[in-house]
Structure 1
Amino acid sequence: MNTKDVSISSKFLGKNLKSPLVLVAGVLNMTASSLLRIAETGAGMVTTKSLTLKPREGHKGPVVVESEHYILNSMGIPNPGVVEGLKEVELFKENSDTPLIVSVFGTNQNEFVELAKMVNDSKGDFIELNLSCPNVLDEVTPSFTVIENMVEIVEKVKKISKKPVIVKLPPHNRIKDIAQALEKVGVDAVSLINSLPGMVIDIKFGKPFLTNRSGGISGPALKPYAVKLVYEVREVTNIPIIGIGGVLTGSDAIEMMMAGAQCVGIGSGVYYRGIEIFNKVNREIKRFMRENGYKNLGEITGKAHSFS
Protein backbone atom coordinates (compact mmCIF):
# COMPACT_ATOMS: atom_id res chain seq x y z
CA MET A 1 0.00 0.00 0.00
CA ASN A 2 1.44 3.39 -0.97
CA THR A 3 0.42 6.84 0.22
CA LYS A 4 -2.00 7.16 -2.70
CA ASP A 5 -3.97 4.23 -1.27
CA VAL A 6 -4.64 5.99 2.03
CA SER A 7 -6.93 8.93 2.72
CA ILE A 8 -6.53 11.48 5.50
CA SER A 9 -9.61 13.43 4.47
CA SER A 10 -12.06 13.97 7.28
CA LYS A 11 -15.53 15.31 7.96
CA PHE A 12 -16.42 17.63 10.82
CA LEU A 13 -19.96 18.85 11.49
CA GLY A 14 -20.87 18.45 7.84
CA LYS A 15 -17.76 20.11 6.43
CA ASN A 16 -15.22 18.21 4.35
CA LEU A 17 -11.62 18.56 5.52
CA LYS A 18 -8.55 17.69 3.46
CA SER A 19 -6.77 16.77 6.69
CA PRO A 20 -7.81 16.15 10.31
CA LEU A 21 -5.33 18.79 11.51
CA VAL A 22 -6.66 22.06 12.93
CA LEU A 23 -4.83 25.27 13.72
CA VAL A 24 -5.99 26.10 17.24
CA ALA A 25 -6.79 29.57 18.58
CA GLY A 26 -3.91 31.81 19.58
CA VAL A 27 -1.19 30.76 17.13
CA LEU A 28 -0.40 32.72 13.93
CA ASN A 29 -4.06 33.53 13.49
CA MET A 30 -4.52 37.28 13.91
CA THR A 31 -4.80 38.10 10.20
CA ALA A 32 -6.29 36.59 7.06
CA SER A 33 -2.83 36.32 5.51
CA SER A 34 -1.48 34.23 8.40
CA LEU A 35 -4.53 31.97 8.34
CA LEU A 36 -4.12 31.51 4.58
CA ARG A 37 -0.47 30.52 5.07
CA ILE A 38 -1.52 27.82 7.51
CA ALA A 39 -4.29 26.55 5.22
CA GLU A 40 -1.80 26.35 2.35
CA THR A 41 0.65 24.32 4.43
CA GLY A 42 -1.71 21.44 5.13
CA ALA A 43 -4.21 22.38 7.85
CA GLY A 44 -7.69 20.99 7.25
CA MET A 45 -9.34 23.69 9.35
CA VAL A 46 -8.21 26.92 11.02
CA THR A 47 -9.30 28.85 14.10
CA THR A 48 -9.12 32.59 14.70
CA LYS A 49 -7.54 34.07 17.76
CA SER A 50 -10.14 34.38 20.53
CA LEU A 51 -12.03 37.59 19.78
CA THR A 52 -13.56 39.88 22.40
CA LEU A 53 -16.20 42.60 22.14
CA LYS A 54 -13.55 45.32 22.46
CA PRO A 55 -9.86 45.27 21.48
CA ARG A 56 -7.48 43.89 24.13
CA GLU A 57 -3.80 44.63 24.48
CA GLY A 58 -3.16 41.56 26.60
CA HIS A 59 -0.77 41.32 29.54
CA LYS A 60 2.52 43.16 29.80
CA GLY A 61 5.69 41.15 29.21
CA PRO A 62 7.31 38.88 29.87
CA VAL A 63 4.41 36.67 28.80
CA VAL A 64 6.14 33.51 27.51
CA VAL A 65 8.57 30.94 28.91
CA GLU A 66 9.87 28.37 26.42
CA SER A 67 11.54 25.05 27.22
CA GLU A 68 12.26 21.75 25.53
CA HIS A 69 9.17 20.12 26.98
CA TYR A 70 6.63 22.90 27.41
CA ILE A 71 5.67 26.49 26.69
CA LEU A 72 4.17 28.60 29.47
CA ASN A 73 2.28 31.67 28.29
CA SER A 74 0.19 34.42 29.80
CA MET A 75 -0.68 36.44 26.72
CA GLY A 76 -3.99 37.69 28.11
CA ILE A 77 -5.94 37.23 24.84
CA PRO A 78 -4.58 40.22 22.88
CA ASN A 79 -6.80 40.78 19.85
CA PRO A 80 -8.19 43.62 17.70
CA GLY A 81 -11.77 43.06 18.85
CA VAL A 82 -14.56 41.17 17.14
CA VAL A 83 -15.41 43.85 14.56
CA GLU A 84 -11.89 43.98 13.13
CA GLY A 85 -11.39 40.25 13.64
CA LEU A 86 -14.43 39.37 11.55
CA LYS A 87 -13.12 41.55 8.74
CA GLU A 88 -10.12 39.21 8.60
CA VAL A 89 -12.52 36.24 8.57
CA GLU A 90 -14.30 37.68 5.53
CA LEU A 91 -11.01 38.24 3.73
CA PHE A 92 -9.85 34.72 4.50
CA LYS A 93 -13.07 33.12 3.24
CA GLU A 94 -12.90 35.15 0.04
CA ASN A 95 -9.60 33.43 -0.71
CA SER A 96 -10.01 29.94 0.74
CA ASP A 97 -12.64 27.24 1.11
CA THR A 98 -10.89 25.83 4.19
CA PRO A 99 -13.41 25.62 7.06
CA LEU A 100 -12.88 28.27 9.74
CA ILE A 101 -13.76 28.39 13.43
CA VAL A 102 -14.35 31.80 15.01
CA SER A 103 -13.14 31.63 18.61
CA VAL A 104 -14.69 34.11 21.05
CA PHE A 105 -14.12 35.06 24.68
CA GLY A 106 -16.44 36.98 26.96
CA THR A 107 -16.21 37.80 30.64
CA ASN A 108 -19.87 36.98 31.26
CA GLN A 109 -22.86 35.29 29.67
CA ASN A 110 -24.21 38.42 28.00
CA GLU A 111 -20.90 39.09 26.26
CA PHE A 112 -20.87 35.57 24.80
CA VAL A 113 -24.42 36.07 23.49
CA GLU A 114 -23.48 39.40 21.88
CA LEU A 115 -20.39 37.86 20.31
CA ALA A 116 -22.43 34.95 18.93
CA LYS A 117 -24.89 37.38 17.34
CA MET A 118 -22.02 39.13 15.57
CA VAL A 119 -20.50 35.86 14.41
CA ASN A 120 -23.91 34.90 12.96
CA ASP A 121 -23.44 37.55 10.27
CA SER A 122 -19.92 36.45 9.39
CA LYS A 123 -18.61 33.90 6.90
CA GLY A 124 -17.14 31.79 9.68
CA ASP A 125 -18.28 28.18 9.62
CA PHE A 126 -18.35 27.52 13.37
CA ILE A 127 -18.20 29.44 16.64
CA GLU A 128 -15.97 28.26 19.48
CA LEU A 129 -16.70 29.46 23.02
CA ASN A 130 -13.43 29.85 24.89
CA LEU A 131 -14.64 29.07 28.41
CA SER A 132 -11.30 27.90 29.71
CA CYS A 133 -8.40 30.31 29.13
CA PRO A 134 -6.33 30.05 32.34
CA ASN A 135 -4.74 33.48 31.86
CA VAL A 136 -7.89 35.55 32.36
CA LEU A 137 -10.09 33.54 34.72
CA ASP A 138 -9.92 36.32 37.31
CA GLU A 139 -11.89 38.54 34.88
CA VAL A 140 -14.78 36.11 34.52
CA THR A 141 -18.09 36.43 36.41
CA PRO A 142 -19.51 33.99 37.32
CA SER A 143 -16.71 31.43 37.17
CA PHE A 144 -16.67 29.29 34.03
CA THR A 145 -15.03 26.47 35.98
CA VAL A 146 -18.45 25.79 37.55
CA ILE A 147 -20.29 23.30 35.35
CA GLU A 148 -23.70 24.93 35.81
CA ASN A 149 -22.34 28.26 34.58
CA MET A 150 -20.80 26.65 31.50
CA VAL A 151 -24.10 24.97 30.70
CA GLU A 152 -26.05 28.24 31.04
CA ILE A 153 -23.75 30.02 28.60
CA VAL A 154 -24.04 27.23 26.04
CA GLU A 155 -27.84 27.14 26.37
CA LYS A 156 -28.10 30.88 25.76
CA VAL A 157 -25.72 30.85 22.81
CA LYS A 158 -27.40 27.81 21.23
CA LYS A 159 -30.74 29.62 21.26
CA ILE A 160 -29.48 32.43 19.04
CA SER A 161 -26.52 30.99 17.14
CA LYS A 162 -26.83 30.25 13.44
CA LYS A 163 -23.47 28.49 13.54
CA PRO A 164 -22.62 25.11 15.07
CA VAL A 165 -21.32 25.71 18.60
CA ILE A 166 -18.00 24.28 19.79
CA VAL A 167 -16.92 24.64 23.43
CA LYS A 168 -13.24 24.70 24.38
CA LEU A 169 -12.91 22.71 27.57
CA PRO A 170 -10.44 23.10 30.43
CA PRO A 171 -8.24 20.32 31.86
CA HIS A 172 -10.92 19.64 34.49
CA ASN A 173 -11.11 16.70 36.90
CA ARG A 174 -14.84 16.45 36.14
CA ILE A 175 -14.42 16.42 32.37
CA LYS A 176 -16.91 13.56 31.96
CA ASP A 177 -19.61 15.44 33.86
CA ILE A 178 -18.94 18.59 31.85
CA ALA A 179 -19.12 16.79 28.51
CA GLN A 180 -22.32 14.95 29.40
CA ALA A 181 -23.98 18.15 30.64
CA LEU A 182 -23.04 20.00 27.45
CA GLU A 183 -24.25 17.14 25.27
CA LYS A 184 -27.66 17.34 26.96
CA VAL A 185 -28.05 21.02 26.03
CA GLY A 186 -27.08 20.41 22.41
CA VAL A 187 -23.46 21.49 22.07
CA ASP A 188 -22.31 20.55 18.57
CA ALA A 189 -18.68 19.71 19.37
CA VAL A 190 -15.95 20.19 21.96
CA SER A 191 -12.27 21.03 21.70
CA LEU A 192 -10.00 19.86 24.49
CA ILE A 193 -7.93 20.58 26.28
CA ASN A 194 -7.03 24.19 26.86
CA SER A 195 -3.70 24.88 28.52
CA LEU A 196 -3.04 23.76 32.09
CA PRO A 197 -2.34 26.46 34.72
CA GLY A 198 1.31 26.64 35.76
CA MET A 199 4.12 28.83 37.04
CA VAL A 200 7.88 29.22 36.54
CA ILE A 201 10.09 30.90 39.14
CA ASP A 202 13.09 32.96 38.05
CA ILE A 203 15.55 31.62 40.64
CA LYS A 204 18.01 34.46 40.05
CA PHE A 205 15.52 36.98 41.40
CA GLY A 206 13.30 34.62 43.39
CA LYS A 207 10.04 35.68 41.74
CA PRO A 208 7.61 34.37 39.12
CA PHE A 209 9.05 34.80 35.61
CA LEU A 210 5.78 35.96 34.06
CA THR A 211 4.48 39.42 34.87
CA ASN A 212 1.06 37.84 35.42
CA ARG A 213 2.77 35.29 37.72
CA SER A 214 0.99 32.22 36.35
CA GLY A 215 0.14 31.13 32.82
CA GLY A 216 -1.01 28.22 30.69
CA ILE A 217 1.15 25.17 29.97
CA SER A 218 1.13 23.81 26.42
CA GLY A 219 3.52 21.65 24.43
CA PRO A 220 4.61 18.00 24.61
CA ALA A 221 4.46 17.80 28.42
CA LEU A 222 0.69 18.21 28.17
CA LYS A 223 0.01 15.38 25.72
CA PRO A 224 -0.53 12.35 28.01
CA TYR A 225 -3.04 14.30 30.09
CA ALA A 226 -4.80 15.59 26.99
CA VAL A 227 -5.05 12.08 25.51
CA LYS A 228 -6.55 10.81 28.77
CA LEU A 229 -9.24 13.50 28.85
CA VAL A 230 -10.10 13.05 25.17
CA TYR A 231 -10.47 9.32 25.87
CA GLU A 232 -12.75 10.03 28.84
CA VAL A 233 -15.01 12.38 26.88
CA ARG A 234 -15.36 9.86 24.07
CA GLU A 235 -16.12 7.19 26.68
CA VAL A 236 -19.29 8.93 27.86
CA THR A 237 -20.51 11.01 24.89
CA ASN A 238 -20.88 10.99 21.12
CA ILE A 239 -19.88 14.66 20.75
CA PRO A 240 -17.39 15.30 17.93
CA ILE A 241 -14.00 16.12 19.46
CA ILE A 242 -11.04 18.25 18.42
CA GLY A 243 -8.18 16.79 20.45
CA ILE A 244 -5.63 19.38 21.57
CA GLY A 245 -2.49 19.16 23.66
CA GLY A 246 1.15 18.62 22.79
CA VAL A 247 0.72 17.21 19.28
CA LEU A 248 4.03 17.52 17.41
CA THR A 249 4.18 14.40 15.24
CA GLY A 250 2.08 12.04 13.20
CA SER A 251 2.30 9.51 16.02
CA ASP A 252 0.92 12.09 18.44
CA ALA A 253 -1.99 12.79 16.09
CA ILE A 254 -2.73 9.09 15.63
CA GLU A 255 -2.73 8.64 19.41
CA MET A 256 -5.20 11.50 19.84
CA MET A 257 -7.51 10.06 17.18
CA MET A 258 -7.34 6.57 18.66
CA ALA A 259 -8.41 8.14 21.97
CA GLY A 260 -11.53 9.40 20.19
CA ALA A 261 -10.81 12.72 18.47
CA GLN A 262 -12.19 13.28 14.96
CA CYS A 263 -9.79 16.17 14.44
CA VAL A 264 -6.47 17.09 16.03
CA GLY A 265 -5.43 20.58 17.03
CA ILE A 266 -1.92 21.93 16.62
CA GLY A 267 -0.76 25.09 18.38
CA SER A 268 2.56 25.10 20.21
CA GLY A 269 3.80 22.57 17.65
CA VAL A 270 4.27 25.50 15.26
CA TYR A 271 6.98 26.82 17.59
CA TYR A 272 8.70 23.44 17.82
CA ARG A 273 8.57 22.37 14.16
CA GLY A 274 7.78 25.53 12.21
CA ILE A 275 4.84 26.48 10.04
CA GLU A 276 5.39 23.39 7.87
CA ILE A 277 4.34 21.18 10.79
CA PHE A 278 0.96 20.56 9.18
CA ASN A 279 2.42 19.11 5.99
CA LYS A 280 5.00 17.17 8.01
CA VAL A 281 2.39 15.62 10.30
CA ASN A 282 0.10 14.83 7.35
CA ARG A 283 2.94 12.90 5.71
CA GLU A 284 3.72 11.09 8.96
CA ILE A 285 0.07 10.09 9.39
CA LYS A 286 -0.01 8.70 5.85
CA ARG A 287 3.21 6.79 6.43
CA PHE A 288 1.83 5.23 9.60
CA MET A 289 -1.39 4.25 7.82
CA ARG A 290 0.49 2.72 4.91
CA GLU A 291 2.83 0.75 7.17
CA ASN A 292 0.01 -0.53 9.38
CA GLY A 293 -2.65 -1.32 6.80
CA TYR A 294 -5.12 1.52 7.43
CA LYS A 295 -6.96 3.01 4.46
CA ASN A 296 -8.89 5.84 6.12
CA LEU A 297 -9.11 7.71 9.40
CA GLY A 298 -12.39 6.04 10.31
CA GLU A 299 -10.43 2.86 10.96
CA ILE A 300 -8.28 4.74 13.47
CA THR A 301 -10.66 7.09 15.28
CA GLY A 302 -11.68 5.72 18.67
CA LYS A 303 -9.79 2.46 18.21
CA ALA A 304 -8.48 2.50 21.78
CA HIS A 305 -12.04 2.04 23.01
CA SER A 306 -12.33 -1.38 21.40
CA PHE A 307 -10.06 -2.68 24.15
CA SER A 308 -11.99 -1.26 27.10
Structure 2
Amino acid sequence: MLASGVIDNTGAILKRVGKFAGAVTTKSISPEPRKGHETPTIVELEERSMLNAMGLPNPGIENFKGELKIAKTGEAPVILNVVAKDIKGFVEVAEKLGSFADAVEVNLSCPNVKGGLEFSQSAEVAGDVISKIKKVTKVPIIAKLGPNVNSISEIAKAVEKAGASGITAINTMPAMEIDVETGKAILTNVSGGLSGSHLRPIAVKCIYDIYREVKIPIIGTGGVLTGEDAAELMMAGATAVGVGTAVWNEGPAAFQRISKELNDFLDRKGYKNASDIIGISHGKNV
Protein backbone atom coordinates (compact mmCIF):
# COMPACT_ATOMS: atom_id res chain seq x y z
CA MET A 1 0.00 0.00 0.00
CA LEU A 2 1.03 3.62 -0.47
CA ALA A 3 2.48 5.15 2.68
CA SER A 4 1.53 8.69 3.63
CA GLY A 5 3.63 11.66 2.59
CA VAL A 6 5.11 10.42 -0.66
CA ILE A 7 3.14 11.90 -3.54
CA ASP A 8 1.01 14.96 -4.24
CA ASN A 9 -2.37 15.06 -2.57
CA THR A 10 -4.56 15.41 -5.64
CA GLY A 11 -7.45 13.04 -6.02
CA ALA A 12 -6.44 12.21 -9.59
CA ILE A 13 -2.94 11.11 -8.57
CA LEU A 14 -4.18 9.05 -5.63
CA LYS A 15 -6.74 7.43 -7.93
CA ARG A 16 -4.04 6.58 -10.47
CA VAL A 17 -1.70 5.11 -7.85
CA GLY A 18 -4.62 3.06 -6.56
CA LYS A 19 -4.47 1.01 -9.77
CA PHE A 20 -1.13 -0.38 -8.59
CA ALA A 21 -1.44 -0.43 -4.78
CA GLY A 22 -3.63 -2.38 -2.40
CA ALA A 23 -4.57 0.90 -0.68
CA VAL A 24 -3.50 4.55 -0.78
CA THR A 25 -2.83 6.88 2.13
CA THR A 26 -3.13 10.62 1.72
CA LYS A 27 -0.56 13.11 2.92
CA SER A 28 -1.35 14.54 6.34
CA ILE A 29 -4.37 16.85 6.31
CA SER A 30 -4.67 19.55 8.97
CA PRO A 31 -7.65 21.76 9.89
CA GLU A 32 -6.22 24.77 8.07
CA PRO A 33 -3.99 24.92 4.97
CA ARG A 34 -0.25 24.62 5.60
CA LYS A 35 2.43 26.01 3.32
CA GLY A 36 5.19 23.76 4.61
CA HIS A 37 8.90 24.50 4.94
CA GLU A 38 11.03 26.38 2.45
CA THR A 39 13.29 24.40 0.13
CA PRO A 40 15.48 22.44 0.29
CA THR A 41 13.13 19.97 1.92
CA ILE A 42 14.63 16.68 0.71
CA VAL A 43 18.13 15.24 0.91
CA GLU A 44 18.89 11.99 -0.91
CA LEU A 45 21.28 9.74 1.00
CA GLU A 46 23.28 6.65 0.13
CA GLU A 47 21.70 3.21 -0.11
CA ARG A 48 18.29 4.52 -1.21
CA SER A 49 17.58 6.49 1.93
CA MET A 50 16.48 10.09 2.28
CA LEU A 51 15.75 12.92 4.69
CA ASN A 52 12.63 15.00 4.24
CA ALA A 53 11.35 18.07 6.05
CA MET A 54 8.34 19.02 3.99
CA GLY A 55 6.56 20.61 6.94
CA LEU A 56 3.23 18.90 6.22
CA PRO A 57 2.11 21.12 3.31
CA ASN A 58 -1.57 20.50 2.61
CA PRO A 59 -4.71 22.34 1.49
CA GLY A 60 -6.65 21.93 4.73
CA ILE A 61 -10.08 20.43 5.33
CA GLU A 62 -12.29 22.47 3.04
CA ASN A 63 -9.96 22.45 0.05
CA PHE A 64 -9.22 18.73 0.30
CA LYS A 65 -12.76 17.42 0.52
CA GLY A 66 -13.22 17.43 -3.26
CA GLU A 67 -9.87 15.73 -3.85
CA LEU A 68 -10.77 13.01 -1.36
CA LYS A 69 -14.06 12.38 -3.14
CA ILE A 70 -12.17 11.94 -6.44
CA ALA A 71 -9.67 9.56 -4.84
CA LYS A 72 -12.56 7.46 -3.51
CA THR A 73 -13.81 6.80 -7.04
CA GLY A 74 -10.65 4.77 -7.69
CA GLU A 75 -10.03 1.06 -7.31
CA ALA A 76 -8.15 1.08 -4.00
CA PRO A 77 -9.33 1.88 -0.48
CA VAL A 78 -8.37 5.40 0.63
CA ILE A 79 -6.88 6.07 4.05
CA LEU A 80 -7.08 9.66 5.25
CA ASN A 81 -4.03 10.75 7.25
CA VAL A 82 -4.88 13.49 9.75
CA VAL A 83 -2.63 15.81 11.74
CA ALA A 84 -3.14 18.80 14.03
CA LYS A 85 -1.47 20.91 16.70
CA ASP A 86 -4.01 19.88 19.35
CA ILE A 87 -6.58 17.19 20.04
CA LYS A 88 -9.43 19.47 18.96
CA GLY A 89 -7.82 19.79 15.53
CA PHE A 90 -7.42 16.03 15.11
CA VAL A 91 -11.08 15.56 15.96
CA GLU A 92 -12.16 18.30 13.56
CA VAL A 93 -10.38 16.78 10.55
CA ALA A 94 -11.61 13.27 11.32
CA GLU A 95 -15.17 14.44 11.88
CA LYS A 96 -15.40 16.51 8.70
CA LEU A 97 -13.49 14.23 6.31
CA GLY A 98 -13.53 10.75 7.85
CA SER A 99 -16.79 9.71 6.21
CA PHE A 100 -15.25 10.31 2.76
CA ALA A 101 -12.46 7.77 3.42
CA ASP A 102 -12.26 4.06 4.16
CA ALA A 103 -10.14 4.61 7.27
CA VAL A 104 -8.46 7.41 9.22
CA GLU A 105 -4.74 7.26 9.99
CA VAL A 106 -3.83 9.52 12.91
CA ASN A 107 -0.37 11.06 12.55
CA LEU A 108 0.73 11.14 16.17
CA SER A 109 4.43 11.29 15.38
CA CYS A 110 5.61 13.70 12.67
CA PRO A 111 9.30 14.47 13.43
CA ASN A 112 9.83 17.58 11.31
CA VAL A 113 7.28 20.13 12.51
CA LYS A 114 7.09 21.92 15.84
CA GLY A 115 5.06 19.89 18.29
CA GLY A 116 4.69 17.01 15.85
CA LEU A 117 6.00 14.42 18.28
CA GLU A 118 4.10 15.50 21.37
CA PHE A 119 1.14 13.19 20.83
CA SER A 120 3.27 10.04 20.59
CA GLN A 121 5.48 10.62 23.63
CA SER A 122 2.82 9.74 26.19
CA ALA A 123 0.66 6.63 26.16
CA GLU A 124 -2.07 8.55 27.97
CA VAL A 125 -2.09 11.41 25.45
CA ALA A 126 -1.95 9.09 22.43
CA GLY A 127 -4.86 7.08 23.80
CA ASP A 128 -6.84 10.24 24.48
CA VAL A 129 -6.45 11.40 20.86
CA ILE A 130 -7.67 8.07 19.53
CA SER A 131 -10.62 7.80 21.92
CA LYS A 132 -11.86 11.29 21.06
CA ILE A 133 -11.56 10.67 17.30
CA LYS A 134 -13.42 7.39 17.68
CA LYS A 135 -16.42 9.30 19.00
CA VAL A 136 -16.82 11.33 15.80
CA THR A 137 -16.19 8.83 13.00
CA LYS A 138 -17.44 5.35 12.21
CA VAL A 139 -14.56 4.33 9.93
CA PRO A 140 -11.60 2.34 11.31
CA ILE A 141 -8.91 4.37 13.07
CA ILE A 142 -5.21 3.63 12.56
CA ALA A 143 -2.63 5.14 14.91
CA LYS A 144 0.66 6.05 13.24
CA LEU A 145 3.48 5.73 15.77
CA GLY A 146 7.06 6.96 15.71
CA PRO A 147 10.24 5.20 16.86
CA ASN A 148 11.72 7.85 19.13
CA VAL A 149 9.77 7.07 22.30
CA ASN A 150 10.71 5.35 25.55
CA SER A 151 8.43 2.38 24.88
CA ILE A 152 6.54 2.04 21.62
CA SER A 153 4.86 -1.07 23.05
CA GLU A 154 3.21 0.98 25.79
CA ILE A 155 1.97 3.53 23.25
CA ALA A 156 0.64 0.68 21.11
CA LYS A 157 -1.26 -0.85 24.01
CA ALA A 158 -2.76 2.52 24.87
CA VAL A 159 -4.10 3.22 21.38
CA GLU A 160 -5.46 -0.32 21.11
CA LYS A 161 -7.29 0.11 24.42
CA ALA A 162 -8.62 3.47 23.21
CA GLY A 163 -10.24 1.83 20.20
CA ALA A 164 -7.72 1.92 17.35
CA SER A 165 -8.41 -0.72 14.71
CA GLY A 166 -4.77 -0.85 13.61
CA ILE A 167 -1.31 0.63 14.01
CA THR A 168 1.08 1.99 11.40
CA ALA A 169 4.70 1.47 12.44
CA ILE A 170 6.74 3.43 11.96
CA ASN A 171 6.95 7.10 11.08
CA THR A 172 10.28 8.56 10.01
CA MET A 173 13.15 9.08 12.47
CA PRO A 174 14.53 12.56 13.29
CA ALA A 175 17.92 13.05 11.62
CA MET A 176 20.04 15.68 9.87
CA GLU A 177 22.88 16.19 7.40
CA ILE A 178 25.46 18.99 7.39
CA ASP A 179 27.19 20.35 4.30
CA VAL A 180 30.83 20.18 5.39
CA GLU A 181 31.80 22.81 2.82
CA THR A 182 29.59 25.43 4.45
CA GLY A 183 29.23 23.99 7.92
CA LYS A 184 25.46 24.44 7.70
CA ALA A 185 22.54 22.04 7.78
CA ILE A 186 21.41 21.09 4.29
CA LEU A 187 17.70 21.20 5.11
CA THR A 188 16.17 24.61 5.69
CA ASN A 189 14.38 23.11 8.69
CA VAL A 190 17.78 21.81 9.93
CA SER A 191 16.45 18.35 10.77
CA GLY A 192 14.09 16.05 8.93
CA GLY A 193 12.64 12.57 8.91
CA LEU A 194 14.87 9.66 7.91
CA SER A 195 13.30 7.09 5.59
CA GLY A 196 14.48 4.35 3.26
CA SER A 197 16.90 1.51 3.92
CA HIS A 198 18.58 3.20 6.90
CA LEU A 199 15.24 3.18 8.73
CA ARG A 200 14.32 -0.45 8.13
CA PRO A 201 16.16 -2.13 11.05
CA ILE A 202 14.50 0.35 13.42
CA ALA A 203 11.11 -0.39 11.87
CA VAL A 204 11.65 -4.13 12.21
CA LYS A 205 12.43 -3.84 15.94
CA CYS A 206 9.47 -1.55 16.59
CA ILE A 207 7.07 -3.84 14.72
CA TYR A 208 8.47 -6.86 16.57
CA ASP A 209 7.92 -5.19 19.95
CA ILE A 210 4.40 -3.99 19.08
CA TYR A 211 3.32 -7.40 17.77
CA ARG A 212 4.13 -8.99 21.12
CA GLU A 213 1.77 -6.65 22.96
CA VAL A 214 -1.31 -6.02 20.80
CA LYS A 215 -3.89 -8.00 18.86
CA ILE A 216 -4.82 -5.38 16.25
CA PRO A 217 -3.17 -5.44 12.78
CA ILE A 218 0.08 -3.61 12.11
CA ILE A 219 0.88 -1.79 8.88
CA GLY A 220 4.65 -1.96 8.56
CA THR A 221 6.41 1.03 7.01
CA GLY A 222 10.06 1.99 6.89
CA GLY A 223 12.60 1.05 4.26
CA VAL A 224 10.57 -1.37 2.16
CA LEU A 225 12.54 -1.30 -1.08
CA THR A 226 12.38 -4.97 -2.13
CA GLY A 227 10.13 -7.97 -1.74
CA GLU A 228 12.43 -9.42 0.90
CA ASP A 229 12.25 -6.14 2.82
CA ALA A 230 8.47 -6.54 2.87
CA ALA A 231 8.87 -10.13 4.04
CA GLU A 232 11.14 -9.01 6.87
CA LEU A 233 8.57 -6.55 8.23
CA MET A 234 5.85 -9.19 7.95
CA MET A 235 7.98 -11.74 9.77
CA ALA A 236 8.35 -9.19 12.56
CA GLY A 237 4.56 -8.95 12.76
CA ALA A 238 3.20 -6.63 10.07
CA THR A 239 -0.08 -7.70 8.47
CA ALA A 240 0.36 -5.27 5.58
CA VAL A 241 3.24 -3.18 4.28
CA GLY A 242 3.40 0.47 3.25
CA VAL A 243 5.83 1.69 0.60
CA GLY A 244 7.14 5.25 0.47
CA THR A 245 10.73 5.94 -0.59
CA ALA A 246 10.63 3.30 -3.35
CA VAL A 247 7.57 4.99 -4.86
CA TRP A 248 9.26 8.38 -4.63
CA ASN A 249 12.22 6.96 -6.56
CA GLU A 250 10.42 4.75 -9.09
CA GLY A 251 6.80 5.81 -9.22
CA PRO A 252 3.86 3.37 -9.00
CA ALA A 253 5.87 0.65 -10.77
CA ALA A 254 7.55 0.01 -7.42
CA PHE A 255 4.40 -1.70 -6.17
CA GLN A 256 4.41 -4.25 -8.98
CA ARG A 257 8.12 -4.96 -8.61
CA ILE A 258 8.00 -5.39 -4.84
CA SER A 259 4.87 -7.54 -5.06
CA LYS A 260 6.49 -9.82 -7.64
CA GLU A 261 9.66 -10.08 -5.58
CA LEU A 262 7.64 -10.97 -2.49
CA ASN A 263 5.69 -13.64 -4.35
CA ASP A 264 8.91 -15.06 -5.80
CA PHE A 265 10.38 -15.20 -2.28
CA LEU A 266 7.30 -16.98 -0.92
CA ASP A 267 7.43 -19.53 -3.75
CA ARG A 268 11.14 -20.13 -3.24
CA LYS A 269 10.64 -20.72 0.47
CA GLY A 270 7.58 -22.91 -0.01
CA TYR A 271 4.99 -20.65 1.62
CA LYS A 272 1.46 -20.84 0.27
CA ASN A 273 0.66 -17.16 0.82
CA ALA A 274 1.93 -14.03 2.51
CA SER A 275 -0.13 -14.58 5.66
CA ASP A 276 2.01 -17.63 6.43
CA ILE A 277 4.99 -15.47 7.33
CA ILE A 278 3.27 -12.92 9.57
CA GLY A 279 4.97 -13.00 12.95
CA ILE A 280 7.11 -16.08 12.34
CA SER A 281 10.12 -14.42 13.95
CA HIS A 282 8.19 -14.88 17.21
CA GLY A 283 8.20 -18.64 16.73
CA LYS A 284 4.71 -18.84 15.24
CA ASN A 285 3.75 -20.71 12.07
CA VAL A 286 7.22 -22.25 11.82
Same structural fold, with TM-score higher than 0.5 when normalized by the shorter chain: yes
- Matched AA of 1:72: L
Q: Distance in 1 between matches of 2:209 and 2:99?
A: 35
Within a 5 Å distance, the mapping from 1:90-169 to structure 2 comes to: 90-94=69-73, 96-122=74-100, 124-136=101-113, 138-139=114-115, 144-169=120-145
- Note if contact 2:6-2:248 (Cα within 8 Å) is conserved in structure 1: no
- Matched AA of 2:144: K
- Note if contact 2:152-2:210 (Cα within 8 Å) is conserved in structure 1: yes
Within a 5 Å distance, the mapping from 1:1-308 to structure 2 comes to: 22-40=1-19, 42-69=20-47, 70-94=49-73, 96-122=74-100, 124-136=101-113, 138-139=114-115, 144-171=120-147, 172-306=149-283
- Matched AA of 2:208: Y
Cα offset, 1:186, TM superposition: 1.6
Q: Distance in 2 between matches of 1:87 and 1:288?
A: 40
- Matched AA of 1:53: P
Cα offset, 1:142, TM superposition: 5.9
- Residue ranges of structure 1 left out of the alignment (5+ in a row): 1-21
- Matched AA of 1:167: A
The one-character-per-residue Cα deviations of 1:146-191 (angstroms, maximum 9, x if unpaired) are 2221111111111222111001001033011111111112211010
The alignment yields a C-alpha RMSD, in angstroms, of 1.7
- Residue ranges of structure 2 left out of the alignment (5+ in a row): none
- Matched AA of 2:189: N
Cα offset, 1:62, TM superposition: 1.2
- Note if contact 2:23-2:77 (Cα within 8 Å) is conserved in structure 1: yes
Q: Which sits farther off after the overlay, 124-133 or 292-301? A: 292-301
The equivalent of 1:12 in structure 2 is: none
Length, aligned pairs only: 283
* TM-score relative to the length of structure 2: 0.94
Cα offset, 1:298, TM superposition: 1.8
- Note if contact 2:143-2:168 (Cα within 8 Å) is conserved in structure 1: yes
* Secondary structure at 1:236 match in 2: coil
Identity of matched residues, %: 43
Q: Distance in 2 between matches of 1:131 and 1:263?
A: 20
The one-character-per-residue Cα deviations of 1:259-288 (angstroms, maximum 9, x if unpaired) are 110110100112334431000011111111
- Matched AA of 1:98: A
- Matched AA of 1:111: G
Q: Distance in 2 between matches of 1:199 and 1:140?
A: 17
The one-character-per-residue Cα deviations of 1:231-267 (angstroms, maximum 9, x if unpaired) are 1100111121000000000000011111110110100
The one-character-per-residue Cα deviations of 1:63-113 (angstroms, maximum 9, x if unpaired) are 11101232011100001112222211211222x231110001010000011
Q: Which structure is richer in relative contact order (CA contacts within 8 A, separation 6 or more)? A: 1
- Note if contact 1:199-1:215 (Cα within 8 Å) is conserved in structure 2: yes
Q: Which sits farther off after the overlay, 247-256 or 61-70? A: 61-70
Q: Distance in 2 between matches of 1:81 and 1:281?
A: 32
